[in-house]
Structure 1
Amino acid sequence: MAGEDTPENLPPGRMPTTRGGVIRSSDLEPLAAFLDRVPRPGIVPLCWHWCQLLDPVDPRLLDGDGFLIGGMATPDRGMTRMFAGGRVHTLRPLRLDVETTRTTRFSSVISKKGRHGEFQLVTLTSTWVQEDQKALVDEQDYVFTTAPSPSRPSVTDTPLTTQPTEPGGQLRPGQIYVSEPMLVAFSGLTANPYRLHWDRDFCTREGHPGLVIHGPLQALWLADEFTRRDVDGVGRTFSYRLTAPATAPSVMTVDQTRDGGMEVRRSDGTVTAIATLI
């Protein structure tokens, strides 16, 4: 039977959190350098808010996997976390130099029991407010699932022999060389200490052939491609979904789909993420 948790029965570490502050143009510089992009003046580009108003990380409060003990996005003991996708609803531009608050809460926590054991479907919703008006509503979906046995590789990620260890020549338009230092840097930009993205030995024990590329990083590439093509996200919803795992080092490709959406592909042609902006 599926069960749904409500705020009344959530532990203290999973109650809503709020952070506030003013986002300055200088706050965008780290991600701008990371993406090699120059943002439009005065506003936060689509999905760049993922690097703003972050909760601080106290390393003394991290568990062995790099999760915040009792944190909002921390799976229960014996389970692991997979980022599944989400939706960013841009109601109005998120402006710089304006007092801003970000409130994050559980909007859905559903426990289920499937063929391979127990899992939870979790959605966290962050609401960004400026001048008493909602600017963004950001929904992120996670799957908390029973961790695979350390004695066997993950069934969702097998070694990819076609992935290069270095770029091997000039990249074509839309291609991105993903190195291990890139993933370490993105973990820092997003205050994400999960070992799956920076600890090769940990990834090997979990059955992955390399560091796992962040789902939000792939979503950010997709959002950036819409922006690069001058598609305005204001008044629209950016919806994205992770469809297959990818590990580094590798060359990933971001491209437009036939229906006007965007996708990320591995070097073997497998689509790992898709997105629309409607």
Structure 2
Amino acid sequence: MSRRSAALRTEDLEPLATFLGGDPPAAGVTRPVGVPNSTSGSTVPPCWQWCLLLDPVDPARLDDDGCPVGGPITPNPGMTRMFAGGRVVTKAPLELDVPTTRTTRTSSTADKQGRRGPLRFVTLESVWTQRGETRLIDEQDYVFTRNAPSSEGGADRHPGASHVALRESQGPARDPLAPGQIRVTEPMLVAFSGLTANPYRIHWDKAFCARAGHDGLVIHGPLQALWLAGEFARRGRSFTGRTFSYRFTATATAPGVMTLGEGDDGALAVRRPDGIVTATATLD
């Protein structure tokens, strides 16, 4: 179990606000895709808690892959971790300048036998409380599979999902983006790893990614989920009393351009340049 407490401050939001598109704009200015219309005020935007009250990273306790030794979501030897998705139940938004506690525990584990070998399912639950009340219940689901031979692909792949690198076009490096597009760069992924205290090498080490069968840095699942949550917020959808559910269906790598737009049955989706959906989310 992990527990951290502190009062959340406006300046705690500034690093992620800058990362997602700069300081909050003046009234009437359109925010970048996937960013709420306002990051100011007295509450934390949806899912921004993923960059708050983080456990410190001790480099001396990281394994060769960049995972904490003995951590609840650190793969055992011969196994690979995939972030499958999760849910955030918002009973009330997190307030700024209020004492806040985040308590994280392993809420469930299950071992099953898949077509290609053993599978382990692990869910982490983080409960965020303020003023003696639960504000958020944040669950994240992970799947552990055996390492695939090099002919079958590499780490962080979803079973049955195809894979493609997101390569920039031959045109200028900063061609204008179409509505709904998000340019993903390698420095962007390195920066997001720092914002989320995630030292896993799959997001910042190109040589590590190549050995795992990827031809670029793997785009973080939580980053895609943040885009989706931000787009719901940008469209004026309230998260209070609702569950934001997201799942990841395919791997994508950077550098390149992802597209955020409509999915099926009221969902939003993130797509790779080849049109494959890599993440979906609903707000119910």
Q: After superposition, give the CA deviation of every residue in 1:12-47 in whole Å (9 maximum; x if it has no partner).
A: xxxx11111111000000000000163031100000
Query: So what's the TM-score if we normalise by structure 2?
Result: 0.88
- Which of 165, 168, 193 aligns to 1:164? It is 168
Residue 114 of structure 1, CA deviation: 1.5
Contact 1:105 1:126 in 2 (8 A): yes
3-state DSSP class of the match of 2:153? coil
Matched, 1:269 2:263: no
Aligned residues: 263
Cα distance change, pair 151–28 in 1 and its aligned pair in 2 (3 A):
same
Q: Do 2:165 and 2:254's aligned partners in 1 also have CA atoms closer than 8 Å?
A: no
Question: Retained in 2: the 8 A contact 1:148–1:206?
Answer: no
| C-alpha distance in 2 between matches for 1:174 and 1:63 | 38
- Counterpart amino acid of 1:96? L
Residues 1:27 and 2:12 are matched in the alignment: yes
Partner Cα separation in structure 2 for residue 269 and residue 224 of structure 1: 21
| In 1, Cα distance between equivalents of 2:73 and 2:153 | 24
- Compute the displacement of 1:77 (Å): 1.9
Cα RMSD after superposing both structures: 1.7
CA distance, structure 2, for counterparts of residue 226 and residue 167 of structure 1: 29
1:190 matches 2:175: no
Structure 1 residues 75 and 258 mapped into 2: Cα distance closer, same or farther (>3 Å)?
A: closer
Deviation at 1:119, TM superposition (A): 1.6
**Contact persistence 1:167–1:251 (CA under 8 A):** no
Percent identity between matched residues is 58
Paired residue for 1:105? 105
Q: Which amino acid aligns with 1:267?
A: P
More deviation, 177-186/68-77: 68-77
Matches within 5 A, 1:171-186: 171-186=177-192
Matches within 5 A, 1:118-129: 118-129=118-129
Please tell me the residue identity of whatever aligns with 2:221: G
Contact 2:165 2:214 in 1 (8 A): no
Between the aligned partners of 2:166 and 2:200, the Cα distance in structure 1 is 26
Which of 253, 264, 268 matches 2:259? Answer: 253
Q: Distance in 1 between matches of 2:150 and 2:63?
A: 18
Once residues 166 and 67 of structure 2 are traced to their aligned partners in structure 1, the CA distance between those partners, rounded to angstroms, is 31
The alpha carbon displacement at 1:258 in A equals 5.1
Give the distance between the partners of 1:212 and 1:182, measured in 2 at CA. Answer: 11
So what's the TM-score if we normalise by structure 1? 0.90
* Corresponding residue number in structure 2 for 1:211: 217
What's the CA shift for 1:167? 4.6
Say if 2:237 is the partner of 1:231: yes
Q: Distance in 2 between matches of 1:258 and 1:202?
A: 35
User: Shift of residue 214 of structure 1?
Assistant: 0.4
What is the Cα deviation at residue 150 of structure 1?
A: 4.7
Q: Which residue of 2 aligns with 1:136?
A: 136
Give secondary structure in 2 for the equivalent of 1:183.
Answer: helix
Counterpart in the other structure of 1:8 = none
1:168 CA drift (Å): 5.2
Kindly indicate whether the alpha-carbon contact (under 8 Å) linking 2:67 and 2:74 is maintained by their aligned counterparts in 1.
yes
Q: CA deviation at 1:152?
A: 5.5
For 1:71-90, list aligned pairs within 5 A: 71-90=71-90
Residue aligning to 1:67: 67
Tell whether 2:92 aligns with 1:92: yes
Whole-angstrom CA distance in 1 between matches of 2:70 and 2:243: 31
Q: 1:162 to 1:102 in 2, by over 3 A?
A: closer
The superposition leaves residues 171-224 of structure 1 with CA deviations (integer Å, 9 ceiling, x where unpaired) of 011100100100000000000000000000000100111100000000000000
Shift of 1:144: 1.1
